[in-house]
Structure 1
């Protein structure tokens, strides 16, 4: 059963950025691996008569689920409430399950490698969609280029945690090129922040940074030479919509802030930003009546109130504390997890990414690493006393 849990946990993380491809095969195919993981995990715990490895995060996730359910019940008449509650709750459950299986059965680096592997496939698909399919901005496995960039830039820092260092530069170059092909400014800023964090914390040397920049320069030159018309068209389209994006996001952020101020306890309900946007924005966007907020913090706060936002930020804070403790104990892979979390949090300032796995799986891996450290410390203490 242990091998099955390892396969399913890694498959869940690996397939997350390929959701669009899976959806083309069958609308529910992306749910198969997470569903089987949850069932297998429950069967394993019943078989071994084990409770999940305890951690305060479990209580926080349970409270988060209560907030989602109560907010949904209060706003049951909203057309999006039930659907979005059903989308949100599985991420809380899969986070709890990943914490437990990574703390016990699944090696931390295996999960990180799965995240990089899935992102690598997605990056190849991104480049294919731009160069071969002639898309103005890379999409590939995800419909929105910005969501695709989110997966790729979050995966990039994880490379330094993997043992196969000789593949670091080529895989990193493909991931970076795929992210660049989305022309996502938020993704670029997120990657810059993660890179600065790694340099400051001495996770990567300036030589590696220079090599990555040089590799990207070569790729960029090749793109200009061999795909100049495609690149020109993509840049022209991005320039055309850039100013509009800034204006519309400002409108949506203001609307979300109003919703949160008017409904601080339980928000407007899961998915309620979409149904309440016209009123909150005073019909500011005639062409878009039910958008997303393009900011994970404002959207969670608007839809689930301050308690929901506090639960989300509390989970992230617990993850940072766990990684820092493991890092000080000598686990340098946690520096990569920290950088990836920073990339996810920065990118989520411009995107609504609570319905994608990366930020939840990173929190789970961080907490699981902390649990592994606590167990090793207990074992060492027992050994000394014996």
Structure 2
């Protein structure tokens, strides 16, 4: 019997206790809500088109529902099943949330800091909620399929918009004003910028590739289709960071087979497919990569260097608690930096998640942030390597590849409050907690 069987982990009711409520309905509703978070994370503009009249966004409504359901699980006398929250990861996130509060107090622009802190803390609740509701490996599947299903829709929209030059759902400035050499850069069904959308699609593609490579047998044609059209759509967005992350994730997946005698052939096959794929890369995408060596072709590269220079200067000015959550854009437009190359008159975020965390949260906040990221990676890597349950091992391997790729892509984007980053951290930590529970049930120690 699986170590995650309900009958094995239900705690016996005390003779004098009130009758315990079956928690399966609450957990199922929570799983559905998390699946919708995964879907609308990529398709927020689609949701806005149909339910934009509501006072709250789909994410805000779903987050409120999840928090309410979590409170019910705590308040009601439900059957107690172990919560799959990584203990160290949970402590680090809690400390980071508290430290963000400290940074908000010392921020120069308090209103901006408070607004950003609320948004950042909201998404940092996702790892706790994932662990509360997804308590068995099979419950991870709906969320993963939510990510991958939304990825298919995103890829199809990107391909259509790139070919036709039309915009189907995106309306925000970040989504519709992005272009390169006169060609639009589609943001799919999202109002986020095209690069962030490409990175979410990258996560979906790598989840599909990781599951397929690990022997996952359900809906294989769908997984293959997502890999093909998703990879093509990522290239069409001309998002360099997503292409790089896709390559890194692909290498991690390939090295799953390093002990196989067929590994040299598998590796050569992967290289051959990548080489063939280069023949079909659009000229605009190749131009984006070539521009790295020619700043005149892509002046946004000057701006990226300027982000780093301003960020480093601000970090030196306030190394302990930083400049405050969400305060970098306001410092970016200050007069003392007006002569730096590529700087615009519009507030811009620091396009490097790691330096951004150091600048806005200080070195203490940076250490806590990196601790959370490192804990999530170690948890999912351990689960991929040690899990006895085949389903858990397969999903952990896929999540690990997607998580590392997202970490790599975050070098080029301001993703401290990126929903998919914290959702993936939650899934990674849940995998690690499930593996530890599995080992504990088998008497192998913590």
Q: TM-score range with shorter-chain normalisation?
A: 0.7 to 0.9
What is the total number of aligned residue pairs between the two structures? Answer: 373
Where in structure 2 are the equivalents of 1:1-386 lying within 5 Å?
1-25=26-50, 26=52, 28-48=57-77, 52-53=83-84, 55-75=87-107, 77-104=109-136, 107-134=139-166, 136-142=184-190, 143-159=192-208, 160-161=210-211, 162-164=216-218, 165-202=220-257, 205-206=266-267, 209=270, 213=274, 216=277, 220=280, 243-279=298-334, 282-283=337-338, 284=340, 285=342, 287-330=344-387, 331-381=393-443
Q: Deviations 1:307-340 (Å, cap 9, x if unpaired)?
A: 2211211111111211222122141332222211
Contact kept, 8 Å, 1:58 with 1:96, in 2: the verdict is: yes
Alpha-carbon offset, residue 127 of structure 1: 1.6
SS of 2:418's equivalent?
A: coil
Which has the larger Rg? 2
- Secondary structure of 1:103's partner? coil
> Contact between 1:19 and 1:141, CA under 8 Å: does it hold in 2?
yes
1:243-295 deviation digits (Å, cap 9, x = unpaired): 31211101001111221222111111111101111349612355334101111
Q: Secondary structure at the match of 1:84?
A: helix
Q: In 2, are the aligned partners of 1:323 and 1:338 still within 8 Å (CA)? A: yes
Q: Match of 2:125, SS?
A: helix
Match of 2:10 in 1: none
Structure 1 residue 235: Cα displacement: 7.2
Unaligned 5+ segments in structure 2 are: 1-25, 167-182, 388-392
Q: What is the TM-score normalised by the length of structure 1?
A: 0.86
Q: Report Cα offsets for 1:205-253 as digits up to 9, x if no partner.
A: 44873696488579x38xxxxxxxxx66787799698531211101001
Following the alignment from structure 1 to structure 2, what is the Cα–Cα distance between the partners of residues 87 and 208?
44
Contact 1:251–1:281 (8 Å) recurs in 2? no
Distance 1:214 1:36, change over 3 A: farther
Provide structure 1 residue ranges, at least 5 long, that are not aligned to the other structure: 222-230
**Measured at CA, do residues 278 and 292 of structure 1 come closer, stay the same or move farther in structure 2, by a change above 3 Å?**
same
Q: CA deviation at 1:104?
A: 4.9
Q: What RMSD, in angstroms, separates the aligned Cα atoms of the two structures? A: 2.9
- 2 CA distance for matches of 1:148 and 1:121? 12
- Secondary structure of 1:265's aligned partner: coil
CA distance in 1: counterparts of 2:430 and 2:344, whole angstroms: 45
Q: Is the 8 A contact 1:173 1:212 kept in 2?
A: no
**Structure 1 CA distance for aligned equivalents of residues 145 and 335 of structure 2:** 43
Q: Distance in 1 between matches of 2:138 and 2:316?
A: 42
8 Å Cα contact 2:42-2:150 kept in structure 1? yes
In 1, the alpha carbon distance for the partners of 2:350 and 2:335 equals 12
Higher helix share: 1
